[in-house]
């Protein structure tokens, strides 16, 4: 967590240092950045790669300023650019001037940013806004008031209850913004992209770590480990399991299976943290962090374990990610284990393409 809090401090400090800088021929001045997530949630969801976030925000600022290059002087105005990023490496923008959504400017900025690397996020969206003034002499926006894009406000007012920003508002407005920007997954230096067959999912792994997979009917297992798991038990690594036919084999729904797994862990392990349920694409996810005794061969050790448990009742499937290392090695290995926490289990594009081919035949 320390690295991520440092990330927040760096971004906001850097922002305040450059907020008075005038860009694009003295037309565009950035005033401030507003974070729409709570800070602890932002810290949990964002990539720990400080440089990628700094470069990303800088690119958004510069490309936005370029929208007004060569324009004749007009009256001073205030505006904001709302940016939302979701775990599928998709980003959307909303550009408002004086409280009104500007579709043409939003589309132009989206095109300008099509080659910009999108930072990695996990377990939910991250959203923030860049507040700016045009033509240099607009009233400063440095008060503490949170300003939302016009389309977000309109969507929120139509709901029967208060809407959580950004998690609940984004599904209501996503299709109204410009076409989402997508790019291949960001792969940090020293890592490679590992495909999880037969589902076509992916996970990033350190180049020097080992990958093994073993499958049997309705039970699929993938391991990324520091030690070679083919030679025996390993100390540090991530194991992902996909279990199909849960109801058939256990008599429980996938959700009931996951909840019973958690209750059993609470009886036998020290619970460090537990998350609430969250929707992540096709699945619902909960996380559990423990310290527990793990036996490898004849040796027992206390391990720091991070469980991510996914389920989908209609598909009758459970997926479990188990990332662990001995307690005394946790500080050394946690950055690597956290980097592998965001993985894709199923490549839906592959299966939708297969379905289309089957129908054509």
Cα 321 to Cα 64, 186, 242: the distances in Å are 40, 20, 9
Q: What pTM did the predictor assign?
A: 0.55
Q: Which of 25-39, 178-192, 269-283 has the highest mean pLDDT?
A: 269-283
* pLDDT score for 84: 94
The domain spans of the chain are 2-182, 191-353
Nearest to 204 by CA among 184, 229, 233: 184
Cα 211 to Cα 318, 326, 340: the distances in Å are 21, 20, 13
* pLDDT score for 55: 82
**Are residues 78 and 138 in contact, defined by beta-carbon separation less than 8 angstroms?**
yes
pLDDT digits (tens, 9 = 90+) for 69-95: 655 556 788 899 999 998 877 899 999
State the average pLDDT over residues 252-270.
Answer: 95
How are the residues of the chain apportioned to helix, strand and coil, as percentages rounded to the nearest 5? 30, 35, 30
CATH of range 191-353; options 3.40.1000.10, 1.20.58.190, 3.40.50.300, 3.20.190.10: 3.40.1000.10
* pLDDT score for 46: 80
* pLDDT score for 186: 61
pLDDT digits (tens, 9 = 90+) for 142-175: 455 668 899 999 988 888 888 889 988 998 888 7
pLDDT at 279 over 90: no
Mean pLDDT across the chain: 82
pLDDT at 197 over 60: yes
State the average pLDDT over residues 243-264.
Answer: 95
Cα 184 to Cα 90, 115, 130: the distances in Å are 10, 11, 25
Nearest to 134 by CA among 95, 107, 104: 95
Identify which has the larger pLDDT, 131 or 225: 225
Would you place residue 34 in the very low, low, confident or very high pLDDT band (cuts 50, 70, 90)? confident
* pLDDT score for 317: 94
pLDDT at 255 over 70: yes
Would you place residue 318 in the very low, low, confident or very high pLDDT band (cuts 50, 70, 90)? very high
Residue 148, exposed/middle/buried by CB under 10 A (0-12, 13-18, 19+)? buried
């Amino acid at each position: 967590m320390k690295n991520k809090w440092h990330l927040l401090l760096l971004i906001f400090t850097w922002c305040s240092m450059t907020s008075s800088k005038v860009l694009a021929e003295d037309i565009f001045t950035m005033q401030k950045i507003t974070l729409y997530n709570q800070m602890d949630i932002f810290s949990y969801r964002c990539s720990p790669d400080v440089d990628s976030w700094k470069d990303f925000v800088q690119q958004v600022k510069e490309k936005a300023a370029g929208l007004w290059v060569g324009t004749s002087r007009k009256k001073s105005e205030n505006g904001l650019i709302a940016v939302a990023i979701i775990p599928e490496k998709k980003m959307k923008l909303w550009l408002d001037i004086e409280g009104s959504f500007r579709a043409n400017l939003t589309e132009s900025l989206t095109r300008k940013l099509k080659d910009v690397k999108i930072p990695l996020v996990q377990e939910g969206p991250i959203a923030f806004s860049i507040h700016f003034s045009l033509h240099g002499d607009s009233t400063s926006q440095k008060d503490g008031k949170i300003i939302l894009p016009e389309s977000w406000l309109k969507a929120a007012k139509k709901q029967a209850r208060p809407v959580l920003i950004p998690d609940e508002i984004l599904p209501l407005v996503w299709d109204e913004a410009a076409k989402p920007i997508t790019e291949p997954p960001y792969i940090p230096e020293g890592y490679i992209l590992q495909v999880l067959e037969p589902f076509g999912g992916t996970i990033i792994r350190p180049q020097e770590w080992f990958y093994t997979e073993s499958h049997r009917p309705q039970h699929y297992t993938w391991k990324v480990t520091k030690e070679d798991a083919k030679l025996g038990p390993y100390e540090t690594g991530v194991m992902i399991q996909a279990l199909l036919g849960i109801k058939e084999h256990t008599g429980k729904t996938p959700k009931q299976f996951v909840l019973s797994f958690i209750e059993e862990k609470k009886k036998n392990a020290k619970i460090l943290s537990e998350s609430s349920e969250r929707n992540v694409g096709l699945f619902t996810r909960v996380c559990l962090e423990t310290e527990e005794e793990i036996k490898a061969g004849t040796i027992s050790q206390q391990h720091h374990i991070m469980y991510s448990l996914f389920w989908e009742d209609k598909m009758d499937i459970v997926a479990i990610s188990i990332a662990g290392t001995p307690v005394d090695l946790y500080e050394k290995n946690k950055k690597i284990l956290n980097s592998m926490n965001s993985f894709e289990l199923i490549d839906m594009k592959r299966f939708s393409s297969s379905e289309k081919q089957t129908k054509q035949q």
